[in-house]
């Protein structure tokens, strides 16, 4: 190929790629009109993973598409709910500093660490200047993403979730109740030891928070084992 033809071809390809390079990265957010204001709501970090620190993100522009930068912390608040549980009111605070030049002007966030997967609902109340705000948005195809498991991106070891560790601790608690009621038998004692080992293994693989919970389960399990041994010794004594 002649040099000038090659250069022309490269130039055409470059022009075709410019729109792709300039295209913004689209994230899953809900866009709502509240009076004269345009409000965008979603997760601050996407994809949204369980047990990873995140935040509710609300970005506000006026009818001239200019960011609203002068809301005070607490002018807007959000209650986050999933299933039948909800948080207290969380104040939305400025996620930018105009003097230092960081963050996105007009963006306000409320930190939250989701601990279970599924759909979440944001109930945002307060006011933008004199405009009352009362929005309820639930994750979905037209709004923002649900919370998903982090197991697909964990490497090299899959970390058990806090819910997994809590389930194992609940099983150990049930066995402790059996111990206290004097209804323990050798098989239950063996099952209890297995539960202790499971809790210990979960603690070894868990994150810092998970390790604390798993470690707590191990301590409870060990106490239960001591009770079981004492109970069995008392039962073995002659009347």
d(CA 215, CA 196): 10
Question: What is the pLDDT, as a whole number, of residue 26?
Answer: 41
| Residue 227 token pair | 């009770």
The mean pLDDT of the chain is 78
d(CA 239, CA 237): 6
pLDDT in tens, 1-57: 554 444 454 443 443 344 333 333 345 788 999 999 999 999 999 999 998 999 999
The pLDDT of 96-119, averaged and rounded, is 95
Q: Does the structure show a pLDDT above 90 at 208?
A: no
The secondary structure of the chain as a DSSP string is --HHHHHHHHHHHHHHHHHHHHSPPP---EEEEETTEEEEEEESSSS-BTTS-EEEEEEEE-TTS-B---PPTTSEEEEEEETTEE---EE-EEEEETTTTEEEEEEEEEEE---S-B--EEEEEEEETTEEEEEEEE-STTS-PPBB-SGGG--SSPPPPHHHHHHHHHHHHHHHHHHHTT---HHHHHHHHHHHHHHHHHHHHS-HHHHHHHHHHHHHHHHHHHHHHHHHHHHHS--
Kindly indicate whether the domain formed by 30-148 is annotated with CATH number 2.60.40.10: yes
If phi > 0 it is left, if psi is from -120 to 50 it is alpha, else beta; for residue 84 that is alpha
d(CA 17, CA 130): 45
Tell me the range of 83-97, 153-167, 212-226 where mean pLDDT is highest: 83-97
> 47: cis peptide before it, omega within 30°?
yes
Q: Does the structure show a pLDDT above 90 at 109?
A: yes
Give the residue, 170 or 151, on which the prediction is more confident: 151
Question: What is the pLDDT, as a whole number, of residue 213?
Answer: 47
Residue pair 139/119 in contact by the 8 Å Cβ criterion: yes
Question: What is the pLDDT, as a whole number, of residue 4?
Answer: 46
The pLDDT of 158-172, averaged and rounded, is 70
The pLDDT of 186-205, averaged and rounded, is 71
Question: What is the pLDDT, as a whole number, of residue 5?
Answer: 43
Domain ranges of the chain: 30-148, 162-236
């Amino acid at each position: 190929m002649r040099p000038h033809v090659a250069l022309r071809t490269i130039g055409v390809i470059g022009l075709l790629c410019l729109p792709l390079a300039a295209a913004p990265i689209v994230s899953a957010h809900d866009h709502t009109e509240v009076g004269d204001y345009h409000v965008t709501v979603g997760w601050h970090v996407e994809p949204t993973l369980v047990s990873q620190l995140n935040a509710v993100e609300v970005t506000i522009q006026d009818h001239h598409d200019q960011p609203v930068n002068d809301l005070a912390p607490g002018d807007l608040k959000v209650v986050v709910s999933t299933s039948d549980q909800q948080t207290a009111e969380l104040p939305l605070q400025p996620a930018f500093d105009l003097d230092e030049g960081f963050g996105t002007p007009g963006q306000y966030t409320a930190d939250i660490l989701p601990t279970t997967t599924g759909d979440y609902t944001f109930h945002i109340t307060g006011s933008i200047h004199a405009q009352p705000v009362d929005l309820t948005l639930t994750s979905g195809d037209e709004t923002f993403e649900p919370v998903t498991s982090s197991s697909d991106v964990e490497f090299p070891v899959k970390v058990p979730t806090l819910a997994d560790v809590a389930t194992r601790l609940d099983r150990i608690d049930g066995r402790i109740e059996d111990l206290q009621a004097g209804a323990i038998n050798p098989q239950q004692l063996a099952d209890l030891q297995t539960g202790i080992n499971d809790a210990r293994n979960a603690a070894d693989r868990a994150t810092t928070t998970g390790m604390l919970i798993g470690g707590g389960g191990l301590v409870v399990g060990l106490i239960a084992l001591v009770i079981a041994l004492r109970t069995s010794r008392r039962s073995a004594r002659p009347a």
